[in-house]
């Protein structure tokens, strides 16, 4: 059974200033998602699942889904603020989305095979999808064996402001030992630093492995997510801004020795559009890849 690619595309794009998932950045108006889907199909993924918000479903189907329908099966699921477990109600003051792991939870009714999770607005590079597909294709019906594609922190920063990164540590067997979501990371005076819980900037090495939200899971992950989301809501009932991130769940599972997560090495280069100021640089990089023959242009001119 081929693995599924689960694309998180419900983000509000507040720092970017719009729906960056739908922004045409390639030479012929291709989105970053288009390149991810192209690479994923080449790597051996067999189905796409998008999580979006209902408010832009029509535009998303017209601009995005229509391109893929004859190339790979596609499903759409929705992430909304009021999707909460029984016994919980939405605080009217809450306007911020519940976070990346809440988005992942939306896929449980349409995914029954090993699956990868990626962000819609990150360019991961072909090799990242290749190593993910190889790992997930060998999992079959196993449980509690997950994976993550590790990138080097210094290569994943924006020149336009802070970024959020899951900072990782692994053991001699390339198994993840901890992952902590750092929501403000940037280069200060040549040093890579993150803002810690005490509002202090902490310096870490450029080559520190980080999660770019490129994960591989099996369906048992949904059950753990549901359970831990209930705990999260109980602990954060008065907090209307905190989010339920994938690294929170993963860290709980590995620290408590419930699951293992293998860190997959890749030589792929990441880039993305966190801020509007990042856009021109991404356009230039995509144009360069097309010029070098890495991708056809238009991207979907041939059947793959």
What pLDDT does residue 85 have?
Answer: 86
Tell me, yes or no, whether 297 lies in a domain: no
Radius of gyration of the chain (CA): 18
Q: pLDDT means per 10 residues in the chain (304 residues)?
A: 93 52 83 93 96 86 85 93 85 84 95 95 92 92 92 84 87 90 90 92 90 93 96 86 90 94 85 83 93 90 54
What pLDDT does residue 132 have?
Answer: 96
CATH code for the domain of 212: 3.90.550.10
**How many Cα atoms sit within 13 Å of 201 on the Cβ side?**
10
Q: Which domain holds residue 47?
A: 4-291
Tell me, yes or no, whether 201 lies in a domain: yes
Using CA atoms, how far residue 103 sits from 188, 222, 238, 249, 303, in Å, is 32, 11, 21, 13, 30
What pLDDT does residue 12 have?
Answer: 47
Tell me, yes or no, whether 81 lies in a domain: yes
Residue with tokens 């360019």: 123
Q: How many domains does the chain fold into?
A: 1
Tell me, yes or no, whether 36 lies in a domain: yes
Tell me, yes or no, whether 181 lies in a domain: yes
- Alpha carbon distance, N-terminus to C-terminus of the chain: 19
The dihedral built from the CA positions of residue 242, 244, 250 and 256, taken in this order, carries a sign that is: positive
What pLDDT does residue 252 have?
Answer: 94
What pLDDT does residue 70 have?
Answer: 84
Q: Render the burial of 162-184: b for 16+ CB within 10 Å, e for the rest.
A: bbbbbbbebeeeeebeebbbbee
Tell me, yes or no, whether 143 lies in a domain: yes
Tell me, yes or no, whether 50 lies in a domain: yes
Give Cα 240 distance to the centre of its chain.
Answer: 22
Tell me, yes or no, whether 298 lies in a domain: no
What pLDDT does residue 18 have?
Answer: 53
What pLDDT does residue 275 have?
Answer: 79
């Amino acid at each position: 059974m081929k693995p599924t690619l689960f694309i998180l595309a419900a983000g509000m794009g507040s720092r970017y200033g719009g729906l960056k998932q739908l922004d045409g950045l390639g030479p012929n108006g291709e989105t970053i998602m288009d390149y991810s889907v192209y690479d994923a199909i080449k790597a051996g993924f067999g189905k796409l699942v998008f999580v979006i918000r209902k408010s832009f479903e029509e535009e998303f189907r017209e601009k995005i889904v229509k391109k893929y329908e004859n190339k790979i099966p596609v499903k759409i699921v929705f992430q909304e603020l009021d999707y909460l477990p029984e016994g919980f109600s939405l605080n009217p003051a809450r306007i911020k989305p519940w976070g990346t792991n809440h988005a992942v939870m939306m896929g449980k009714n349409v995914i029954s095979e090993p699956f990868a999770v990626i962000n819609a607005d990150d360019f991961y590079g072909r090799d990242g999808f290749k190593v993910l597909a190889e790992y997930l294709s060998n999992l079959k019906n196993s449980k509690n064996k997950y994976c993550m594609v590790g990138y080097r922190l210094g290569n994943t920063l924006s020149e336009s402001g802070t970024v959020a990164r899951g900072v990782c540590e692994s053991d001699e067997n390339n198994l993840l030992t901890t992952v902590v979501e750092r929501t403000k990371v940037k280069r200060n005076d040549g040093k890579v630093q993150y803002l810690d819980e005490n509002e202090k900037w902490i310096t870490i090495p450029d080559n520190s492995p980080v999660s770019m939200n490129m994960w591989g899971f099996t369906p048992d992950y949904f059950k753990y997510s549901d359970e831990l989301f209930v705990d999260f809501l109980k602990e954060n009932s008065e907090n209307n801004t905190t989010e339920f991130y994938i690294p929170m769940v993963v860290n709980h599972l590995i620290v408590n020795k419930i699951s293992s997560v293998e860190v997959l090495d890749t030589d792929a280069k990441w880039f993305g559009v966190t801020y509007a100021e990042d856009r021109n640089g991404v356009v230039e990089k995509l144009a360069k890849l097309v010029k070098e023959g890495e991708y056809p242009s238009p991207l979907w001119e041939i059947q793959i």
